[in-house]
Amino acid sequence: MTAYVYSVGECNSAGPTTIVGFAVPRPNMLLVCDADSREGSVTSIVAGGTDMGAAVISQANGTRTARFYALYNPPQGSIDIVPTFSGASYWIVRARLFDLVDPTTHYYGAAGNTGSSTNPNVNLTSANGDLAIDTECDAATGATGTPGAGQTRDGTDTNFGANGFQTNASHKPGSPSAVLQWTLSGGVAWAIVGMTIQSAPAAPAPPATAASQIRGSPETGKHDIGDRLQGWESVDNEGELVFEDNFRNDITGWYASAGGTGTAPSKVTTAGLVLIPPNAVKLAVSNAAGQRSRLIRRVYLALGQIFGLEAWFRVTDTPSDTQMTFDYTLPDGSAGYIMGIGYSKGSGVQFWNGSYWQNILTSLTFPASGSDYWLGLKVVGDWISGDYMRVWVGEQKISMIAPTIYAMGTAGLALPGVAQIIIGTTETAGASTESEVGFVLLTRNEPKEAT
């Protein structure tokens, strides 16, 4: 698994001077803070109440200094990152959060360099499959630095204009002789530091699972999941079950995300309703534009060809839009696609065609909001052909290969072997929307045609 930049946040001496509400969604991530300044020194950088300690590396050229601070497994949740400088005229702290980092050796090969030219650069000890990063500061008075070939800028080009202080940061895939460099419009003094983030080892293939653990009788060849899901039943009982969650343990393992002023998903109990088990997750937004409420889960998967994603949900408000997507690139990197299915109370059942949600069944209408009616949706896609195979709406199967073949979207999560499931709801037409999700299933090795 290749380490990657999950998110970036910044603060500087011109304000804001603190990074507020920096999201750390799960354990075992790596927080790296670039601390670049003109004059002065760093007194401390505190992330979520935890002091990040001494700098990994610090490189000065006259009054300008570039530094790295690092903290593995920072506090989870929405944290504040508070830097304190002493005697610095101008400074910036750029927080970069990395995922899929080796749990033992988080980073290595820290190095620095200085000069006076148009080309800040640093040579790193690195390796294929790892991630090389840098931060540089210079005496430019208004020009923008251009990253070298293969580098991706992290954050913004921060320039204090006539005060003669500029900073940049980037990352690029590791290699045996990684060079990170910048091009400036004029020759000025600069300092640069870099290091390599070591990627987590590849996930081992899951051990063979006894047929009795995931399937029913050999005669049927179907997985018997009723007991595992406390009463739920799959719409078709096809495929090999590789992941399931009925939220009996709350939303542990999921990242709950809210956009705009949306409400983060939360577990609810449904014991007062009939025909369903007691656990579900509520997704809710009000009528402000741009809101969303969603659950995100990443799992490691071995090779497969035909995958299925299924969930059951209940409409609790009108209108209601609920969608789920499965984003996956095969471990060998040969194919990556996104498939998705959802329900819009105004449009019916929809699938993700790579650009937008396209209607496939407009005749479906839920009973009144707040009813006990739960709808099972399942989507199946082929990771060899890149096409959808079929959609299940309750017990109704809709072919996606006849008379028309529908292609899936291209993968957005370019992390071979890592699957991402997203389930969410968004604000619809200026109205509040709310739904509940009862359980989620992920299967592989689905038949080309459901039996």
pLDDT at 437: 80
State pTM to two decimals. 0.54
- Give the pair of three-digit tokens for residue 436: 């509940």
- Give the long-range contacts of residues 345-352, CB within 8 A, separation 24 or more: 345/315, 345/318, 345/319, 345/320, 345/321, 345/428, 346/319, 346/428, 346/429, 349/377, 349/391, 349/393, 349/398, 350/323, 351/379, 351/388, 351/391, 351/400, 351/406, 352/323, 352/325, 352/408, 352/409
Does the pLDDT value for residue 110 go beyond 90?
Answer: yes
Which range, 59-63, 227-231, 251-255, is most confident? 59-63
Averaged pLDDT, 96-110: 93
DSSP-assigned letter for residue 163: G
Give ∠ CA 380-338-77 in degrees, rounded to 5.
115
Residues 6+ apart with CB under 8 A from 1: 100, 199, 200, 201, 202, 203, 300, 415, 416, 417, 418
Residue whose C-alpha is closest to residue 133's, from 237, 6, 238: 6
pLDDT band for position 220 (cuts 50, 70, 90): very low
CA R_g for the chain? 25
Does the pLDDT value for residue 35 go beyond 90?
Answer: yes
pLDDT mean across residues, the chain = 80
Name residue 269's amino acid: T
pLDDT at 262: 58
Q: Please name the fold of domain 211-444.
A: Jelly Rolls (2.60.120)
Does the pLDDT value for residue 56 go beyond 80?
Answer: yes
The better pLDDT of the pair 117, 253 is held by: 117
- Give the pair of three-digit tokens for residue 347: 């449009």
Averaged pLDDT, 81-90: 94
pLDDT at 326: 87
Task: Express each pLDDT in 38-48 by its tens digit.
Answer: 999 999 999 99
Among 89-93, 101-105, 190-194, 320-324, name the one with the lowest average pLDDT.
320-324
pLDDT at 99: 86
Evaluate the CA torsion angle 280, 295, 246, 433 in order and state its sign: positive
Residue 125: exposure state from Cβ atoms within 10 A (0-12, 13-18, ≥19) = middle
Q: What is the DSSP string of 290-333?
A: T-EEEEEEEEE----SEEEEEEEEEE-SSS-EEEEEEEEE-TTS
Burial 383-414 (b: 16+ CB within 10 A, else e): bebbbbbbbbbeeebeebeeeeebebbebebe
Tell me how far apart the alpha carbons of residues 270 and 370 are, in angstroms, rounded to a whole number: 12
pLDDT band for position 261 (cuts 50, 70, 90): low
pLDDT at 285: 63
- Give the pair of three-digit tokens for residue 87: 């005697």
Task: Express each pLDDT in 111-146 by its tens digit.
Answer: 999 999 999 999 999 998 899 999 999 998 877 789
pLDDT at 304: 77
Query: Tokens 């937004």, residue?
Result: 285
Other Cβ atoms less than 10 A from the Cβ of 379: the count is 28
pLDDT band for position 157 (cuts 50, 70, 90): confident
Q: Domain map of the chain by residue range?
A: 4-197, 211-444
pLDDT at 210: 31
